[in-house]
Amino acid sequence: MNKDQLSLTKAKFPTLFSFSQDYEGKDKNDIRQYFRDKPTLILGEGYWLKYERALQLLPVEDKNHLLNKLKTLTKKLSEQEGWPHFEEKLNEALVYEYLQKEGYRKIKFIQENSRNGRKPDFEILNSDFSLKGLIEVKTIRYSLDEFAAVKKETETGEGRFLQMQAKGLYEKINDALITSAIQLKSYSSSAIEIRGVYLFLNLDSGILMDLIFTPTSDLEQFLCKTKKDLYSKEQVELKIYLLSGIFGDPKEFKCKD
């Protein structure tokens, strides 16, 4: 891959660069320099392109709402703190795009208010502006640091390593979905047509290959059971998307049943 292919310029990514205009680094024309100390440094054009596209599709008011949140989060980006929240906000733009493709035309960001606790991310409205549905977006990262920590703890063989590695991921997923179900219920107890969660799993490519694409993968069985249980118990529809450096746009995870 040559230098030109690695360059992520303002010309290609005007929306993403709109919140990095105060950056004083050596190369203001490469967004990877803006995130030079962040886990995004190794990510290429395909990673950013999907977000630029989704952000450009947002109505002006919603775009400004999201960009203001992104600008705030860039002040404290780190692997442990700001970056997961930053990435989740970018994924909200993707979900807005997905909802539009599914035919929904009245989609509204829900304004956050810390005094009233966490809220879902989107309202879907009927033509008369009554509430049709609620959508929550969750992003789970299984970082290389966690990967290394589990590997260090388990020196007894590959099978046990993969099993324990997945266990930490299961706990993260369970916690996120329990929180999501509570948020969707607490925001509106009335009967509405749609309660949905979009779950993005940002996994190391090695974990994807070992746990997702293996025909008898424990993780695959866990995700499918979780998806079914969440709907039967909470009447919440779960959609799962996989994020990784091995493909550009998120890959929707579908059960084989």
Residue with tokens 């970056």: 83
Residue 166 has a pLDDT of 65
Q: Given this model, what pLDDT does residue 165 score?
A: 64
pLDDT score at 218: 74
Q: Which residue type is seen at 93?
A: A
Angle, helices 60-73 vs 45-57, to 10°: value is 140
Q: What is the number of other CB atoms lying within 10 angstroms of the CB of residue 16?
A: 21
Task: Say what the pLDDT of residue 5 is.
Answer: 38
The per-residue pLDDT for 239 is: 94
> Do the bridges between strand 107-109 and strand 251-253 make them parallel or antiparallel, or are there none, so unpaired?
unpaired
* pLDDT given for residue 58 in this prediction: 92
Q: Which long-range contacts (CB under 8 A, 24 or more apart) does 169-174 make?
A: 169/140, 169/142, 169/201, 169/203, 169/207, 169/219, 170/219, 170/222, 172/140, 172/142, 173/140, 173/199, 173/201, 173/222, 173/223, 173/226, 174/226
Phi first, then psi: give them for residue 197, nearest 5 degrees. -125, 130
Query: Per-residue pLDDT tens for 170-223?
Result: 888 999 999 999 889 888 877 789 999 999 988 766 666 655 556 556 778 888
| Average pLDDT for runs of 10 along the chain of length 257 | 46 72 47 47 67 90 86 62 75 94 92 69 93 94 67 58 68 91 85 91 69 64 90 91 75 81
